[in-house]
Amino acid sequence: MLWVRVSAAAQFRREDTLRRGSMEDRSPEQNTGERPEESGSDDDEEEQVNTGESEAAVKTFKDLGVTEVLCESCDQLGWKSPTKIQVEAIPVALQGRDVIGLAETGSGKTGAFALPILQSLLASPQRLHTLVLTPTRELAFQISEQFEALGSSIGVKCAVIVGGIDMMSQSLVLAKKPHIVIATPGRLIDHMENTKGFSLRALKFLVMDEADRILNMDFETEVDKILKVIPRDRRTFLFSATMTKKVQKLQRAALKDPVKCAVSTKYSTVDKLQQYYVFIPSKYKDCYLVSILNELAGNSFMIFCSTCNNAQRVALMLRNLGITAIPLHGQMSQNKRLGALNKFKSKSRSVLLATDVASRGLDIPHVDCVINYDIPTHSKAGQGFVSS
């Protein structure tokens, strides 16, 4: 089965592609169905907080309480107005409260916690001020880029501490005591246990981004160790796409009287997103994949595969057919992974073949079409890439 998600922009460029039954004219073996819309009104769905009213009243970052210098940084980045999660979370965070943010990938969560942290850092400068935990290396680098862009005018220094990179070079960066450390839990524990002079005992802010994914990747032990050595007298922001039982347990252990800011439903999707599933024999998947890529030529694609070997194989096949494809998976070195991601972001490659290392958190707004070559291992895989 292939699962195809196409943005409105891609559909406009090629309105006659991926219609129901368009594939049936070519092969009687295939049935194509459009995914039914899901209301998301589940009884177990988390109760939303302050939905709609404050968004209508607040139009600018300045109205949220953000200082002038950071408002200018937002303007330089092209952030004209705050997103829903930013409208809900930033005023609460500026009041000194702990925050639980429930929002989908691509909703502006990084800005929702970065702006209050930078404002606090501006008011009382301190080294090793903030720790941000992320589930994947690529997301850590992306968050660092946004912190440095927003804090460029105030001289913010960030350190990215992730696996796949020499620990000695990371130790030298930590010795300079950056303001903000963005890390994956496993590598951070390595430095806390082995790097002399590195301590987070003066930490003021802890952020756990994509918390549900962190816990699903079996980082619970590492997170527990980190929580034991950082100060209890701190501010904590927990951002997640879903409120799982593990996240609820973490909330009780790590946050003090938090305010929940929920702006997403359990099964929400982008309004203008068109979704299709294609039932085909497994041996014909490559043929139909190439057919879809050719019919939607000129667009940007992300294709998710279940294994590293499959991502590599399909990328090589597409290259041999003249399609500019590049793989991204866990068996690549960190430098090659970052290189692949940067080539795709710069549009020098039109197709990115990825495993679930790229399935959550990354902000790539120019993606027109997402294809699940294999059935996703979890329901949130691949969210947040298709522009509306």
User: Which tens digits make up the pLDDT trace of 21-71?
Assistant: 444 444 444 444 444 444 444 444 333 354 444 444 557 999 999 999 999
Predicted confidence band at 385 (pLDDT cuts at 50, 70, 90)?
A: very low
pLDDT, position 65: 93
How do strand 31-34 and strand 301-304 relate by DSSP bridges?
Answer: unpaired
Q: Is 32:24 a contact under the CB 8 Å cutoff?
A: yes
Instruction: Tokens 């992306």: give the residue.
Output: 142
pLDDT surpassing 90 at residue 138: no
Q: 2-38+275-372 and 53-262: same fold?
A: yes
Of the candidates 358, 50, 96, 333, the residue with the CA atom closest to the CA atom of residue 210: 358
| pLDDT confidence of residue 242 | 80
Of 146 and 384, which is predicted with more confidence?
Answer: 146
DSSP notation for 34-77 = EPPP-----TTSPPP-S-SHHHHH--STGGGT--HHHHHHHHHT
* pLDDT tens-place string over residues 219-272: 888 999 999 999 999 999 999 888 888 888 888 888 998 999 988 655 455 566
What is the domain partition of the chain in residue ranges? 2-38+275-372, 53-262
CA distances from 151 to 32, 115, 145, 188, 197 (A): 48, 9, 10, 23, 26
The CATH architecture to which 2-38+275-372 belongs is 3-Layer(aba) Sandwich (3.40)
CATH of the domain spanning 53-262, picked from 2.30.40.10, 3.30.360.10, 3.40.50.300, 3.40.50.2300: 3.40.50.300
Half-sphere exposure for 43 (CA within 13 Å, toward CB)? 0
Q: Which tokens hold the place of 212?
A: 């549900």
pTM of the prediction?
Answer: 0.70
